[in-house]
Amino acid sequence: MTFQQVYGYEPAVRYSAPGRVNLIGEHTDYNDGYVLPFAIDRRTVASIGQRDDRLIRVASAFEPDAVHELSLDELDPSRMQGWSAYVFGIAWALREQAGADLSDKTGLDVFIESDVPVGAGLSSSAAIECGVALAFTDLWELDLDRKTLARVGQYSENHAVGAPTGIMDQSASLLGEEDAVVFLDCRTLDTAVVDLALEANGLEVLVIDTRVEHAHATGGYKARRDSCERGAQVLGVEALRDVSVDDLPRAQELLDDETFRRVRHIVTEDQRVLDTVRTLREQGPRAIGDLLVASHASMRDDFEISVPELDLAVSTALEHGAVGARMTGGGFGGAAIALVDREARDAITTAVTSAFAAAGYREPTVFTVHAAQGARRD
């Protein structure tokens, strides 16, 4: 199905935005901490045509028989349901969060296509949000920069979709560059591009999609965020970003065991991000393996967001020669990543697939990704 088949005319523009892999720094974003994601070469494309009324219509290649409609005069989260909320929510958030005046804007027809895996922790949702946000901003001639659009995307996901996520995903999708990671301070939104240099070092990032789907808007994610906020309140800080590794003994005295372990993950993960940035700059990507492994152990044991399939993917990749491996994304399913030698990619893929079969798990989807350019007009 195409835009023309759904709407009967050719789109005016096409914009695309990538999914992302988080190299390291999990659940630190909503704690005002540090993250180190990169945009990937899997993209969502938004084809858009302009209307002469106030209606926004949304369709997609993955739900070709349904066209969702909402007027610009009726934008409200209570009227948004299902995946189309990721599109309608951007229009609403441009008005509510960024202060855009939409009173004189005309409607749009939107058609979404994507090869970003859904439910794998690669932020297919942010890819939709960022492509649409950039397109709407340009078509409606709004004077908003990409950092503002990252906030718009987060605001939409938090309040229109109902997922309490941080700003990392949108920042990576909007600001990513080829063969580089985006070092993001989630408090100030200051960013720095850090060379990943995988090609020069003969390395690749292997994504192991366990095909265990997760849902950020439910249960575990919110519970972890609540624990972090509770820990910050007890420790008397604005956010866990303000707690250092040296503060952990005091934190352990003040917090119950579960809350302390949640806090310990965030505090040590922030430090691992800083250490990874320094290591990439000083020694290159082959030296970051132990940091990736330590990150996974912290998510498994302290934050308790891994699942057996993710643990098996990580351990099997490491046993068969990966430089480092960890789960990536919000957890409770989704994907793991492994930093591997190019020549070892096929052997590690076979080993992981065989291990899943032996354990009676669903066959994983395994593929490589490369650090890619962020959202753009195609």
Catalytic residue numbers? 169
Asked if residues 203 and 340 have their Cβ atoms less than 8 Å apart, the reply is yes
Q: What is the DSSP letter of 361?
A: P
Q: What is the DSSP letter of 280?
A: H
- Listed in sequence order, the residues at least 6 apart from 232 whose beta carbon sits closer than 8 Å to its beta carbon are 31, 238, 239, 240, 242, 243
Structure tokens at 137: 């901003």
Distance CA 39, CA 170 (A): 10
Supply the angle between the helices 124-139 and 146-156 in degrees, to the nearest 10: 120
Distance CA 19, CA 125 (A): 8
Short-list 16, 6, 221, 216, CA closest to 116: 16
- φ/ψ of residue 375, rounded to 5: -55, 145
Asked if residues 322 and 348 have their Cβ atoms less than 8 Å apart, the reply is yes
Neighbours of 198 (CB within 10 A): 21
Distance CA 130, CA 347 (A): 36
Short-list 299, 282, 281, 238, CA closest to 22: 299
List, edge to edge, every strand of the sheet that includes 335-341. 324-328, 335-341, 203-209, 365-369
Q: Name the pairing type of β-strands 55-60 and 13-24.
A: unpaired
Query: CA angle at residue 192 from 187 to 193, to 5 degrees?
Result: 140
Distance CA 327, CA 23 (A): 9
